[in-house]
Amino acid sequence: MLVDAHCHLDFAQFDKDRTEVFESAKAVGVAHFVVPGTIRTRWQQVLALGEWADTSVCLGLHPYFVDEHQAADINALDSLLGEHPEVVAVGECGIDGRFTDTLEAQWYYFDAQLRLAKQHALPVVVHCVHANDKVARRLRQLALPKAGLIHAFSGSIEQANKFLDLGFKLGLGGAVTYERAKRLRRTVEALPDDAFVLETDSPDMPLSGYQGMRNEPRRVAEVCSVVATLRGQTEEQVAAQSSGVAATLFGFSCTEQR
């Protein structure tokens, strides 16, 4: 059994064939999907997906869309987290160091969401690009009781260990399928069995060989294959290990079906 621990199935790219996308993923063994939130105006679409037994949902404010966020969104998020116990995490939130002109605003929303995660005793789903050390330092300061997931991790084993020491898990996705990602691949080889989950970030982060194409949850099977090869394990081992980690982190049963 496989879990896609991070896929944006609420996005408009799936409006015409969302059911078929779910079914094609299930056909290759994907039994559970975790859908993060990105902006307030899409939270209701995310919550609607959470009505399915095989889909867990998170709510958050993504740093990429920081110009669309408003301070009032934090209070709205606080309210929804209280009203919807089915929400399994706060996120996707975090810091994207590529956008230096919005860093101050990014940190404002990230810190606010970290405080909400602590208040509601929820894990966080963290977007962290060119900011691993700074984000790890902030997470250490807050000591979140439920820790969370570092989505799309691509750092060194030293950076990985900083997050793992805080109780966080690492999301491995399409980046690991590229042969040029040598540092990440060395990290994947060295990770403990219980350190990671598998994800696609659909419709983004296409795998090697699929550049320019819409990513889909069914590709998590190919991520699993590459990770298994790098680690010298079977695909069945990696699928079972990563799915168990995701189920524990987000609090769902690995046997739930649509």
Task: For the chain, give every domain's residue range.
Answer: 2-250
Report the Cα–Cα distance between both ends of the chain, in Å, rounded. Answer: 14
Q: What is the pLDDT of residues 24-49, one digit of tens each?
A: 999 999 999 999 999 999 999 999 99
Strand extents, DSSP E, the chain: 2-4, 30-35, 55-59, 87-96, 124-129, 148-151, 169-172, 196-198
Helices 182-190 and 220-231: angle between axes, nearest 10 degrees: 70
* 2-250: CATH, from 3.30.1490.20, 3.30.465.10, 3.10.620.30, 3.20.20.140: 3.20.20.140
**Tokens (6 digits) for 68:** 């669309």
**pLDDT given for residue 258 in this prediction:** 43
**pLDDT given for residue 59 in this prediction:** 98
**pLDDT given for residue 255 in this prediction:** 60
What mean pLDDT is reported for the chain?
97
Distances (CA, A) of 14 to 47, 96, 220: 16, 25, 17
Q: What is the pLDDT of residues 132-191, one digit of tens each?
A: 999 999 999 999 999 999 999 999 999 999 999 999 999 999 999 999 999 999 999 999
Give pTM, 2 decimals: 0.97
**Tokens (6 digits) for 189:** 């080889």
The helix/strand/coil state of 27 is helix
72: Cβ contacts below 8 Å, ≥ 6 apart = none
**pLDDT given for residue 253 in this prediction:** 85
**pLDDT given for residue 143 in this prediction:** 94
Q: What is the separation of C-alpha 43 from the centre of its chain, rounded to a whole number of angstroms? A: 16
Flag whether pLDDT at 232 surpasses 50.
Answer: yes
Q: What is the pLDDT of residues 45-63, one digit of tens each?
A: 999 999 999 999 999 999 9
